Amino acid sequence: MQDDETMETFTTTSDIKFCDFVNKCSSYLNSNNFQIIVTITKNTSEQRKSVYYPNRFFDNLSKKSIDHFLEIINNVLGDNDFIIFEVQNNSFEDFFTSTIKFTSKEKQVTYNNINREKINKIKNLCHCNIISKYQFIPEDFYPIKKNETLLDIIFSKISVLYSAIFLFDIFDINGTNIEYRLNGYKTITEKLIFSDIEIASYQNFYEIYSWVYEGGNIVDKIGLARNILSLNLENKNLKIAETTFEAVKSGYKIYQKENIKQYIEVRNKISDQLIELQNRADKIVENFVNDYKKSFLAIISFFITVVVIGVVSKDNFASAFTAKETSLLMGFLFISSYVRFFAKKEINKQIDIYAKFYKNLKERHQDLLDKSDINRILNNDEDFNNNMQFIKERRDDYTKLWNRSLIILLVISYILYFINNFNFCQLIKGVLCCIGNILQ
């Protein structure tokens, strides 16, 4: 290159012979001053890239900013699930993460798929300005196999950083500068430099991250982890105590015990309310039956009183049922019929209230218990349905009994009234005479 103008270009893929290119360059050197620029481009073959000078390569990586380092790894990975850096040295000791492998020449390397759905899980839990740009997770950088080289330091720091990103509330990364916020028992807002991150905690951070995202209620677990981390974190270097993970697990066991206690209290409360529901069902039926008994008892009392008076005063059972007494009895029967109508209307209202109470009982506890768990506690509504069936059957049975009682008393009253007020024998005799006269 001379005066910013490219004089000659040579690539290994061109048809020009290298010796011809050298001769041309020699001729330029004899007459002019010019700059030779050598660019080395490496192609990826079978997801492998060659590394010829590992120490220089590692040193160069260690000097990159966070953004630049992530950009390099992102470009090398591309759309692949993993990448192998093949060090051209058979004595090189392997270094592995889940997706990035540094290994000696032509060594066979196994690979296991990792689940990247965790990236979607943190959207409502954590915020970091680089997550959307680089779709990495802590598994990409956590050293599975270390080799006591500069790689250990580089990847351990990135592992701490990414584990913290998936645990803390907010992370903002700009070059080598980091700003974060952690809301726990204490609220921590801090700024630090990437080079200050303490790598001794990389395993503890990764274990906490793995535990939080491995299953269960992630919101509860990350909330508890943040509480414990805020009490054990050295703000300026992200170092945490070695016992932090054990404290998190112990705290969660206590939390579960408290939840179990609360769960048992909720179950007992539901059981008490179910007993109350059962008592309410019994009360509904009892009130309806009592209305029937009171009404029927009043009519029977009047009926018996009329009969007794008739027998004592006139020595005649039927003679007690004059027009006056029969009219009074008809009035009692009418009132009883009216009471039956309103008693049935009332029990129908009580059935509706009972059903609404049960529905509210289920909905009231959906914030505390899973829907399937509520159904299991309530026996899939079987007890409720049995109670409803019992109430309706008793309502229908006593309604029929009430109606039949009124009809029977009405028929008896009219029969006695007609016996007392009409001479059926004379009537029958007269009818027979009339028939005889007609036949003659």
Q: Which residue has the tokens 């192998």?
A: 84
CA distances from 58 to 53, 63, 80, 258, 409 (A): 9, 9, 22, 50, 108
Residue linked to tokens 């040295």: 89
Domain spans, the chain: 1-41, 48-242, 260-439
DSSP secondary structure of 4-57? TB------TTSSS-HHHHHHHHHHHHHH-------------BTTEEEES-HHHH
Provide the pLDDT for residue 16. Answer: 67
Radius of gyration of the chain (CA): 47
Query: Model confidence at 311, in pLDDT bands (50, 70, 90)?
Result: low
Cβ 361 vs Cβ 267: under 8 Å: no
DSSP string, 199-220: GGGHHHHHHHHHHHHSSS-HHH
Closest CA to 182 of 169, 191, 194: 169
Give residue-wise pLDDT tens across range 92-128.
889 999 999 998 876 777 777 788 888 888 878 899 9
Supply the mean pLDDT for the chain.
Answer: 78
Nearest to 58 by CA among 186, 173, 155: 155
Q: Specify the pTM.
A: 0.58
The helix (run of H) or strand (run of E) holding residue 221 is helix 218-232
Mean pLDDT value of segment 148-153: 90
Specify whether the CB–CB gap between 176 and 195 falls below 8 A: yes
What pLDDT does 14 receive?
Answer: 65
Q: What single DSSP character describes residue 236?
A: T
- Report the range out of 169-173, 300-304, 404-408 with the highest average pLDDT: 169-173
Contact 240, 201 (CB under 8 A): yes
- Give DSSP secondary structure letters for 60-118: HHHTS-HHHHHHHHHHHHTT-S-EEEEES-TTPPPEE-SSEEEEETT----------TH
pLDDT digits (tens, 9 = 90+) for 365-404: 666 666 766 777 777 888 878 888 888 888 888 788 777 8
Q: Is the pLDDT of residue 436 over 60?
A: no
Residues whose CB falls within 8 Å of the CB of residue 318, separated by 6 or more in sequence, listed in order:
310, 416, 419, 420
Task: Measure the CA angle with vertex 216, ends 241 and 369; round to 5°.
Answer: 125
Count of other CB atoms within 10 angstroms of residue 160: 27
To the nearest whole percent, how much of the chain has pLDDT over 90? 20
Amino acid 4: pLDDT = 58
3-state secondary structure of 240: strand
Q: What is the mean pLDDT of residues 303-309?
A: 64
Q: Report, as an integer, the average pLDDT of 354-367.
A: 75
Predicted confidence (pLDDT) per residue in 108-118, tens digit: 777 777 888 88
- List the structure tokens of 26: 């020699």
User: Of 91, 117, 118, nearest to 104 (Cα)?
Assistant: 91
User: Which two structure tokens, joined as six digits, stand for 232?
Assistant: 């054990």
